[in-house]
Structure 1
């Protein structure tokens, strides 16, 4: 047997080991590439970023390329677990670790932060100042240690954003830019959207993690004594489902109108907008549990008073029934499944508004002011952010 055939067999055995069976960077199963300078097994998508980091990483296919004996021995001595212990030694709790289906900029900057900048080895803590300190500039969004962020279009703050209901999520397709970020928050009991982007991938990911950092600081106080495993899902949340449906009014005789709906399982809300890029919601529906009188079912096709679509569903609530129409049967099934998933989840303490919750929020505000007097400025980020026009 030729040595390269033998080496391929060795590599295929190594990648079957539990610690190597998933991509070292995004967790995708069955990685078939490897960096022979870092000793990690990675998927095809992540291997693209490694190819750009020639000073720190070199990749080969474990199936298609020839491997020299010394490189195979290096992979045998190292592997994903060894690399993780070195390069992910001190990842901040709030820092987002990308998954397989996350957008390119998140995976790309995670890999660069780990290996090229070595931010998490414990030796270069000063590199994390991008989302823990800095200064403000005009036409930027400023995240501070107080439980709010401010948006500036001049020297005067245009808006104050409460961290309590703030969320940031990458939406490159919706924003129309590979680094597009959607920031949502509550203003006068309505959801407000900001669509921003930055040409520099590192800058926009630093912003994203800065939002997570200040949310983490707030939630640790507001939801004490919750542990990190309970807090992490609340730092930033993606919608369970988004898309167009048609809806009618509360009397159900009004004409159907097409609206863009967003369903979030964390806050149990169905929001609707005129278009995906609207700044303010038109309305919101809280979704409780079956025990509280909430259910969803398919609606038989009938005279729909102006609806162009045929596939209906009804959301029953204690106050009223909402009738929606979908264009395709598959969309109808997906929406029903998504609603059922939210209804099946138990209500959590954060879903209830109470005086005790308000006292917790005020307590956090007092705590942050005390920190600022030291002074102790957290989570200030400098960047030239651009608003995406809707």
Structure 2
């Protein structure tokens, strides 16, 4: 940044290497970043993302209501990235992509902007310009992992998505202020990483899973691996007053667990036990989960809880329905509420 400003004939001083006169220090105090932003950034659109130090190194403002281009997208069931055409329509509030360049064969997916989120994931995807796009499907959350060779282009896509999301929120909540709506445009996840988990009986073998904590929606999602297209399960995190708690633990009689730093999550329906590899990771997960636990629940959060996001099983016509995590698709019907020992949630 300093090099660019020197080329613009701006006055540049090093905080550590240059001498700062008292008069200049007082001037910086009275006319610092806050006042400078109020003056020079007053025309920036509310949806425009403020870059962070680890983001891509270029930013462009996108205000068009239509954006299209080619992105490299990871396959749903493999690690191959293929070129795919994406079209973002702010007017229709949709993101569409095609498996083939020939659009006459129809789109592979037409995604509603309503529940869409986008977040930079360079380390996770393994590319400096990696972007994760997530949205609510019929019965699961679908993740798309994309990148572009150019940092400016992927940032343009990111801001285009934010522009479309902002337009949708202004339509859905016409009386909402920017202070209320801007945090809901897109969000970074509070915490991600591997933990081991066991089933509802806590006698099943522990299995390594990738976890994502979405503090905005109070969801703890787990996937078989970090670049999976769909989650295996979702745990809703309520508040203590609603019967939820987060504690460190050291499970006894555990089977198959290689890691020893435990976390116990109590919900009104059941108890979940997770294992971390190191105490540092355990502390980080405990801090993140407790942060969500202490957040006040919104009306939308109560709706999510009532929908049973943390209930992995339910009764249908007198039978107990159980989701088998080992296959991520099997349903087991039993006439009683006793869980089969071989099933690991």
Aligned to 2:58: 109
85-94 or 152-161: bigger deviation: 85-94
Q: Distance between the aligned counterparts of 2:69 and 2:129, measured in 1? A: 20
Unaligned runs of 5+ in 1: 1-46, 114-127, 355-390
SS at match of 2:58: helix
Aligned to 1:239: 189
1:251-266 aligned at under 5 Å gives the runs 251-266=201-216
Aligned to 2:49: 96
Q: Distance between the aligned counterparts of 2:217 and 2:198, measured in 1? A: 24
Q: Distance between the aligned counterparts of 1:64 and 1:210, measured in 2? A: 40
Picking from 64, 87, 94, the partner of 1:132 is: 64
Compute the displacement of 1:216 (Å): 1.1
Compute the displacement of 1:243 (Å): 0.9
Unaligned runs of 5+ in 2: 71-83, 305-345
Q: For residues 48-72 of structure 1, what are the alpha-carbon distances to aligned partners after superposition, in whole Å with 9 as ceiling and x for unaligned?
A: xx425765366442442589xxx99
Q: Distance between the aligned counterparts of 2:58 and 2:158, measured in 1? A: 12
Question: Which is richer in helix?
Answer: 1
Question: Which is richer in strand?
Answer: 2
Contact 1:131/1:207, CA 8 A, preserved across alignment: no
Compute the displacement of 1:170 (Å): 0.7
- Tell me whether 1:286 sits opposite 2:236 in the alignment: yes
Q: Distance between the aligned counterparts of 2:209 and 2:182, measured in 1? A: 31
TM-score (norm 1): 0.65
Contact 1:103/1:170, CA 8 A, preserved across alignment: no
SS at match of 1:157: coil
Compute the displacement of 1:251 (Å): 2.2
Contact 2:218/2:292, CA 8 A, preserved across alignment: yes
Off by >3 Å, runs of 4+ in structure 1: 52-60, 74-87, 133-138
Compute the displacement of 1:207 (Å): 0.9
* 1:66/1:287 CA distance change after superposition, 3 Å: closer
Query: What is the total number of aligned residue pairs between the two structures?
Result: 282
Aligned to 1:229: 179
Q: Distance between the aligned counterparts of 2:163 and 2:113, measured in 1? A: 11
* 1:54/1:353 CA distance change after superposition, 3 Å: same
Q: Distance between the aligned counterparts of 1:57 and 1:262, measured in 2? A: 46
TM-score (norm 2): 0.73
**Structure with the greater relative contact order (CA < 8 A, sep ≥ 6): 1 or 2?**
1
* 1:183/1:96 CA distance change after superposition, 3 Å: same
